[in-house]
């Protein structure tokens, strides 16, 4: 029975496919044939018994394809050349009183602070020299490591299935130990340098604070900003005033045209009424010519009245719009006037605040502190980098072991015993069992219900009794061949356990477009339809055949849902006639 159903599914697989759940299929009872002769002896009615079953009904689109398993390469991406970089900062940073350079040169005057620190002789760039000197003194050296990570043992082979965290290689302990000590030393030295710089910068901050009150004040764009703000508000007000004048002109224009149109309409209405009177007072039989003449005049006058009525309506609408524009412009002018007055006050306040800010030494002081902060930030980055490289190293090397980053099946082992593990070296190549997919081509007519994220079932020839679940991950753009057939490539990814699934296995994908679960169903061929009602034939306890009305529902093309009229396990007759 199961083989017959599988054959049926394969015959239908290129269009609408019926995929009935295996559990429901196995419930279908044995098939029994009986024959009854009709009274006239010409035809024979044959009945085949089938059983009302319970299960799932599913309809979809099926196509055949082959399994594709993504290949992934694990590389050793740790930057070996940068691991051993040692960066140090010179602890002899300059303070504000050394070297005779100071802020006084920029001020243009002299001020003897004692101790050899002179403010006055440094020239126009003295203030900035002082700042740069406070941030100077950084001295970095880079020492490249001669340490090597050498493969001591290979722990995997081609064809082996590995999981993330499984050991791939073991390295020689001496090389690992040497590099470990070097990295630890870098972290300790960078931490010590950072602490020394923090202490040294306290002196530089005192010097910056001491020169704070002597810095130059800058006045940049305060006055321009004030003028520009007020000018912008004034321009907005003038724009609204100009718009108001235009709107007022339109009001005057449309009022005149509306009055003229209404006057013309009154004349036309009078002409129309006169023509109607003349027409209605003519004898159709005795004065046919004049009757026809005035009838034409009525139609002509009526057309003129209609045209003028439209003109009156249009001018009324345009006048209303123009009057609304006047109202809106008046509102905007009032608003812009208030904004201008408030803007002048605000602009004046902003100007005064900016002048006050530039009259003190805030900017120069901030620059000095910014350089100090950058210097400290750089040393902090050196420490963070050393720590990061240590963390990177231990993430790549666990003790002396190099471990797998992925789940998959090994396809190549790229290192041998004695090889050095260098940056960018390929460790292993493997099939990625987290990326198992199939791609098939679907006719455009069958793509209506297939979208990214749609569910699908996969039946592989190698596992005929297993249904693998999947979802649509990608749909290509449509292409049309020379015969005019339009198709799209649809890719699905497996969401079920893919243990035992290998690259190149073939099978069939059924894209689920509709399904219902846990319903009663019977063969479509058992249904007898009369008008809007459906019936089936059943045998009673005495073996007599009787007709029972049923209510049907969803059909997958082979079976149909029974909503009312039958129960699970009932025997239903499928009727067929054989002519003699």
What gap in Å lies between CA 147 and CA 177, rounded to an integer? 9
Residue recorded with tokens 């605000």: 346
What gap in Å lies between CA 13 and CA 459, rounded to an integer? 12
Q: Taking a C-beta distance cutoff of 8 angstroms, is the pair 95, 130 a contact?
A: no
Closest CA relative to residue 96, chosen from 417, 423, 470, 372 = 372
What gap in Å lies between CA 525 and CA 441, rounded to an integer? 32
Q: What is the pLDDT along the chain (580 residues), one digit of tens a residue?
A: 333 333 333 334 333 333 333 333 333 333 333 344 444 555 677 888 999 999 888 777 888 999 998 888 988 887 766 565 545 444 444 334 333 333 333 333 333 333 333 333 333 334 444 444 444 444 443 444 445 789 999 999 998 888 888 999 998 888 888 888 888 888 888 888 888 888 888 877 777 676 554 434 446 567 887 888 899 999 999 999 999 999 999 999 999 999 998 999 999 899 899 989 988 888 888 888 888 898 898 899 899 999 999 999 999 999 999 899 999 999 999 999 999 999 999 988 887 776 665 665 566 677 777 788 888 888 888 888 888 887 877 777 878 888 888 888 898 999 999 998 888 889 999 988 888 999 999 998 888 889 999 888 888 999 977 889 899 999 999 999 998 899 999 999 999 888 788 889 999 898 887 778 899 999 888 999 999 999 999 988 888 889 999 999 988 767 899 999 999 999 899 987 766 5
What gap in Å lies between CA 127 and CA 215, rounded to an integer? 8
Q: For 52-104, where are the E strands, in sequence order? A: 53-76, 87-89
**Burial state string for 496-534 with b = 16 or more CB within 10 A and e = fewer than 16:** eebeebeeebebbbbbbbebeeebbbbbeebbeeeeeeb
CB atoms under 10 Å from CB of 244, counted, come to 18
Q: How much of the chain is in helix, strand and coil states, percent to nearest 5?
A: 40, 30, 30
CA of residue 253 relative to chain centroid, distance = 55
DSSP assignment of 544-574, as one string?
A: -EEEEEEEEEEE-SSEEEEEES--TT-EEEE
What gap in Å lies between CA 96 and CA 109, rounded to an integer? 17
| Residue 421 burial by Cβ neighbours in a 10 Å radius (0-12, 13-18, 19+) | buried
Closest CA relative to residue 62, chosen from 450, 520, 497, 538 = 450
Whether the predicted model's global pTM rises above the 0.75 cut: no
């Amino acid at each position: 029975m199961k083989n017959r159903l599988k054959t049926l599914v394969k015959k239908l697989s290129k269009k609408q496919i019926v995929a009935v759940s295996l559990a429901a299929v196995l419930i279908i009872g044995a098939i029994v044939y009986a024959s009854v002769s009709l009274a006239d002896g010409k035809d024979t009615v044959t009945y085949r018994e089938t059983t009302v079953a319970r299960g799932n009904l599913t309809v979809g689109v099926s196509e055949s394809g082959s399994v594709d398993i993504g290949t992934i390469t694990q590389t050793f991406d740790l930057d070996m050349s940068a691991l051993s970089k040692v960066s140090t900062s010179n602890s002899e940073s300059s303070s504000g009183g050394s070297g005779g350079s100071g802020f006084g040169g920029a001020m243009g005057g002299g001020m003897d602070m004692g101790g050899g620190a002179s403010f006055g002789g440094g020239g126009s760039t003295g203030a900035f020299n002082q700042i740069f000197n406070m941030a100077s003194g950084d001295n970095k050296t880079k020492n490249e490591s001669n340490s090597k990570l050498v493969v001591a043992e290979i722990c995997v082979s081609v064809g082996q299935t590995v999981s993330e965290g499984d050991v791939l290689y073991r390295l020689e302990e001496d090389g690992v130990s040497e590099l470990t000590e070097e990295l630890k030393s870098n972290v300790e030295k960078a931490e010590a340098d950072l602490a020394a710089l923090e202490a040294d910068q306290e002196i530089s901050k005192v010097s910056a604070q001491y020169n704070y009150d002597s810095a130059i004040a800058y006045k940049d764009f305060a006055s321009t900003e004030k003028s520009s703000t007020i000018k912008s508000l004034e321009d907005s007000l003038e724009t609204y005033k100009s718009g108001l004048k235009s709107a007022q002109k339109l009001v005057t224009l449309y009022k005149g045209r509306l009055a003229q149109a209404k006057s013309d309409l009154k004349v036309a209405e009078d002409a129309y009424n006169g023509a109607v009177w003349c027409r209605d007072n003519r004898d159709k039989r005795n004065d046919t010519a004049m009757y026809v003449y005035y009838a034409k005049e009525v139609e002509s006058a009526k057309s003129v009245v209609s045209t003028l009525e439209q003109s009156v309506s249009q001018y009324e609408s345009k006048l209303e719009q123009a009057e609304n524009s006047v109202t809106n412009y008046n509102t905007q002018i009032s608003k812009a006037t208030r904004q201008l007055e408030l803007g002048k006050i605000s602009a004046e306040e902003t100007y005064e605040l900016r002048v006050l800010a530039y009259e003190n030494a805030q900017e120069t002081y901030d620059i000095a502190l910014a350089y100090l902060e950058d210097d400290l930030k750089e040393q902090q980055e050196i420490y963070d980098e050393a720590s990061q490289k240590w963390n990177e190293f231990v993430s790549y090397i666990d003790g002396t072991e190099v471990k797998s980053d992925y789940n998959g099946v090994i396809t190549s082992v790229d290192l041998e015993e004695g090889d050095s593990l260098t940056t960018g070296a390929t460790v292993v190549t493997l099939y990625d069992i987290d990326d198992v997919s199939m791609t098939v081509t679907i006719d455009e007519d069958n793509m209506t219900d297939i979208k990214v994220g749609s569910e699908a079932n996969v039946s592989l020839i190698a596992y005929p009794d297993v249904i693998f679940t999947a979802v649509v991950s990608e749909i290509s753009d449509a292409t049309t061949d020379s015969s005019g057939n339009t198709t799209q490539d649809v890719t699905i990814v497996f969401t079920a356990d893919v243990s035992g699934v290998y690259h190149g296995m073939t099978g069939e994908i059924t894209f689920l477009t509709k399904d219902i679960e846990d319903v009663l169903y019977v063969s479509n061929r058992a249904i007898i339809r009369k008008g809007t009602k459906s019936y089936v034939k059943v045998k009673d306890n005495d073996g007599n055949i009787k007709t029972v009305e049923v209510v049907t529902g969803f059909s997958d093309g082979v079976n149909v849902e029974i909503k009312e009229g039958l129960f699970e396990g009932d025997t239903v007759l499928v009727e067929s006639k054989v002519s003699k």
